[in-house]
Structure 1
Amino acid sequence: MTALSGRDAKLIHDLAKAILTEPEPLRVWPLLMERLTTDLPVDLAVLIDLDWKAGTGHALTGKPDWLHEAPLDTLIDTHMRVHPLLRHYAHSTDRTPLTLDEVADDRWWKSEAYRAGKAAIGIDRQLALPLSSRPGQIRGVIMSRSRHGFSDRDLEYAGLARSLLDTVSAHERVSLRMPRLGDPAAYGITAREMTVLTLLSEGLTAHAIGSRLRITEKTVVKHKENLYKKLRVHDRVTAINKARFLGLISPEPPVG
């Protein structure tokens, strides 16, 4: 394959920038689906998550917006086992982006599954971006065009985009395992008080906290008093332990 053009290199750069700068994590996947439909371009892009052994799956998000009204989960549950791309990834460790034309034979184009997909969402030519997943699971992005196939340029772009999406997916898995912190506002704790509480949990003295925040030690002591009152405790150790119990600060890391 030839090297990406300057325009395509910029598209990949902009895609990575969009991932890194998106302030709302829940917006990342819809944003990526939107970018893929524009950058390749394709008619639609869908993020899917399948359990091959159970024969079930879900469309997690997609673009354009009308896809949310389409019977995607029904199509997946009914026809996933005969879809050539899904069958390929289910029975191999290959995670290379592939097109439907590379793995389908004449039976697919004459099948009920193809006709059902064509009628529901207009699928014709497809390109898959498979992401890393557990054995028996298929997670990835399926993109479709209704008129013409995919070029070498499209496949090269897809390979780079897949690496970025795989990174997003890995970060998402780590994030889901992390404990969710509580909301300080639920206890009337201000942002500055939370800063003081966090520094207290790190073992800093009132004098050191004052130096770090460029406020007087007297002001730090006042913040401590307010924290104790709001947490209904009377000392630093109990305040930190209760804050951890409430999820306001991260749990203490294990020793060793």
Structure 2
Amino acid sequence: MASARVRPAGLELVEQLDGGVDRDGYLRVVAGTLTDLLGADFVGRVALDLRDRSAEVQRHPRGGRPGSDLARQLLALADDHPVVRSYRADRSRGLPAPRRLGDLATRAELLRCPAYVDLLRPGGAVDQLTIMTTRTAGGGRAWTVNRSEGEFTDRELAEAHALQPVLALLDRAVSTGVTAPPDGAAAIARLGLTAREVQVLRHVGTGATADAVARLLRISERTVRKHLENAYRKLDRHDRLLAVDRARELGILPAHPRPAG
């Protein structure tokens, strides 16, 4: 199971960041975890906002072209980038699941794609796995896990998905200037909650019904109830109210939720 490797990796990640680090330290620690867990040649940290026409690209380990040059080129080629197009087309609520580049375009299509030919491949990203951590109206922030050869497996995709909620909470802490990662990140890793279970809990925590959550996430009500059942078991609570209260105590859910809408 993906959680067998992800849970200790998530806990170690939170422990290393406990007490706070600067942005370079944050990049180094998270990139190191992703490299070890997913077998990357290098890891990128990307922030993109197509409304404001702004972008930031950081790479670990450092090397190749300056991040500022990569950011300018990413902005110029964003409309053609398979991953950017996929995320922009995703209308589901919450964070979209991680994406493998090879699932979004065939090799022949990639070789006709300027974003791949002029940006990704020359930089060593022959294959790429993207994990979004923050979604905004104009784009968002994400980690890219890159390889010069060898496709990412289904297991590695599942591991990226399992680690996503921890990365999202840490990203929120760093971007808002919080010096220490929230307890919720450690709790998610310790309990082995999946990204979808956390997402469903967050909607339920605002008062949304299972039927409403199913419509928001475009999944069946039965699937929503199964995610809730798994979350209740991991939180060691037997009903919705107690599970939500426990998730708030652990920092997995906000203390003062906004109404569902």
Q: TM-score, normalised by structure 2?
A: 0.59
Q: TM-score, normalised by structure 1?
A: 0.60
Structure-2 change in CA distance of 1:118 and 1:129 (3 Å)? closer
The match for 1:65 is: 62
CA distance in 2 between partners of 1:3 and 1:111 (Å): 32
Identity %, equivalent residues: 19
Paired residues for 1:232-247 under 5 Å: none
Are 2:3 and 2:162, in contact at CA under 8 Å, matched by a contact in 1? no
The match for 1:89 is: 87
Are 1:56 and 1:76, in contact at CA under 8 Å, matched by a contact in 2? no
Query: Please, which of 136, 151, 154 is the counterpart of residue 152 of structure 1?
Result: 154
1:166 Cα offset (Å) = 0.6
Paired residues for 1:1-256 under 5 Å: 2-5=1-4, 7-21=5-19, 23-26=20-23, 27-59=25-57, 61-67=58-64, 69=66, 71-94=69-92, 95-105=96-106, 106-118=108-120, 120-175=122-177
1:118 Cα offset (Å) = 4.6
CA distance in 2 between partners of 1:161 and 1:75 (Å): 29
After superposition, give the CA deviation of every residue in 1:18-51 in whole Å (9 maximum; x if it has no partner).
2325x42432233212321222111111111111
Q: Which amino acid aligns with 2:3?
A: L
Are 1:58 and 1:76, in contact at CA under 8 Å, matched by a contact in 2? no
Instruction: Supply the RMSD in Å over aligned alpha carbons.
Output: 2.3
After superposition, give the CA deviation of every residue in 1:145-196 in whole Å (9 maximum; x if it has no partner).
11111112211221132211110122234327xxxxxxxxxxxxxxxxxxxx
1:136 Cα offset (Å) = 1.4
Q: Which structure 1 residue ranges, 5 or more long, are not aligned?
A: 177-256
Q: Which amino acid aligns with 2:88?
A: A
Q: Secondary structure at the match of 2:3?
A: coil
The match for 2:208 is: none
1:139 Cα offset (Å) = 1.2
Are 2:13 and 2:29, in contact at CA under 8 Å, matched by a contact in 1? no
Are 2:132 and 2:142, in contact at CA under 8 Å, matched by a contact in 1? yes
Are 1:55 and 1:80, in contact at CA under 8 Å, matched by a contact in 2? no
For CA contacts below 8 A with separation 6 or more, give which structure has more relative contact order.
Answer: 2
Q: Which amino acid aligns with 1:4?
A: S
1:126 Cα offset (Å) = 0.7
1:132 Cα offset (Å) = 2.3
Aligned residues: 172
CA distance in 1 between partners of 2:121 and 2:2 (Å): 37
The match for 1:238 is: none
Structure-2 change in CA distance of 1:67 and 1:163 (3 Å)? farther
CA distance in 1 between partners of 2:91 and 2:147 (Å): 26
Structure-2 change in CA distance of 1:154 and 1:3 (3 Å)? closer
CA distance in 2 between partners of 1:16 and 1:153 (Å): 22
Pair member with larger Rg: 1
Q: Secondary structure at the match of 1:130?
A: strand
CA distance in 1 between partners of 2:121 and 2:104 (Å): 22
